[in-house]
Structure 1
């Protein structure tokens, strides 16, 4: 099954999956299978979502933008991704898309874009980012697709942050490394914009008890690189606690 195409099936648009059931794909997915992947009737595919897990299926009918999949058997039961939330300041288009792609592969459960004092991008193409997250989930073999929140000011997000949930903030040149307590599923990672957080934001973050300053080393990283580095660093601690990868 690892060599066959994987397709995310939104549980909002289909009944629960069961053996010998049939799923009609969206036109874009049908086009992908027939034109891009050059699949034909009888070929194996894997369909998945967080509600139903992963299912092995066969293409029952495929023509242009129409395709139906016959479900054969469940290959993986439902299992939520044991990951982190990522708060990040939107970057230039390609860099933001990279953050979404890498974050999905590294197990982010929810993306929370925030506006900081030095944020240069104040608009996001939500549909485009959701599509990228879906494609990344299909490629990395996770069962769920992370959600993407609306863009909000950082102070507003922090004011609503639960006091018992840790937020690991990548504060450049902080000289401090967050260690205790160990990260937990549902904790957050915060990455700033190009140019980093402003002095006022640094002060605000250090005053919050749930914020844990996180050092990413002596070098100054691009914001998209910093997101991947922070997720890998905190995720390694989460892996040790949970016994599962991001």
Structure 2
């Protein structure tokens, strides 16, 4: 019996394989010509020879095994051979955060990708220390994390906006998990249980926390869950990992 292009979906997935994000459409037999930077990566960084295989994904068409057909250091041509994983819907989870500076922001973005965020939303609070946000650098970190962690849907990176405007624009049906360092300690899993079905947003504040007016406005929004992350004051990048891990655990427990 003839094999179909999806027969390979029954095989164990090789998470050790090199993965590359591309913008091109992916389908059986499709040719993907890499730009200079990605050709350099394929040729000089991972040293993929002609005839060697790599996994490609674009956030739309699933993941494909591709073979390198030709090219040098400045160009490379790949051909899709078989689809390895079908595309899944992106997670309906917004991760909103007060921007940090440089390396700590890089770390936070990478961890948010690993923890299943669907969109990354920088929000400017009154105590936000970083006055400029390099969204292109954020997108590069998103792609790198998605390539390394087997993720099919790299999160979208939104442009920064003031906290009040972002809050006003949240759809009423999107529950908000407001991580408040001043909230009384309580069982976080119990607090999250009623909020995990449906669209969700998780908000982490800046170093120094939210001011009183911001805190009151956030807590007053209908559908908001005010969440304590424990007795310790966490750095914002650490709080991001803790909060998203709790959300993932609560969703897993509810399945």
**Equivalent of 1:68, from 53, 63, 77?**
77
Does residue 3 (structure 1) correspond to residue 12 (structure 2)? The answer is no
Deviations 1:53-98 (A, max 9, x none): 0000111113012011011100001112435210100011111111
TM-score (norm 1): 0.92
The answer as to whether partners of 1:182 and 1:237 remain within 8 angstroms in 2 is no
**Equivalent of 1:129, from 138, 142, 154?**
138
User: Secondary structure in 1 aligned to 2:172?
Assistant: coil
- Structure 2 counterpart of 1:217: 230
The answer as to whether partners of 1:50 and 1:80 remain within 8 angstroms in 2 is no
The answer as to whether partners of 1:173 and 1:218 remain within 8 angstroms in 2 is no
Q: Distance in 2 between matches of 1:144 and 1:174?
A: 33
- Structure 2 counterpart of 1:93: 102
TM-score (norm 2): 0.89
- Which stretches of structure 1, 4 residues or more, deviate above 4 A after TM superposition? none
Q: Distance in 2 between matches of 1:180 and 1:6?
A: 35
- Structure 1 counterpart of 2:151: 142
Aligned pair count? 238
The answer as to whether partners of 2:51 and 2:67 remain within 8 angstroms in 1 is yes
Q: Distance in 2 between matches of 1:111 and 1:82?
A: 12
Relative to structure 1, is the Cα distance of residues 58 and 185 closer, same or farther in structure 2, using a 3 angstrom cutoff?
Answer: farther
Which structure 2 residue ranges, 5 or more long, are not aligned? 1-13
Q: Distance in 1 between matches of 2:101 and 2:58?
A: 30
RMSD in angstroms over aligned alpha carbons?
1.4
Does residue 164 (structure 1) correspond to residue 177 (structure 2)? The answer is no
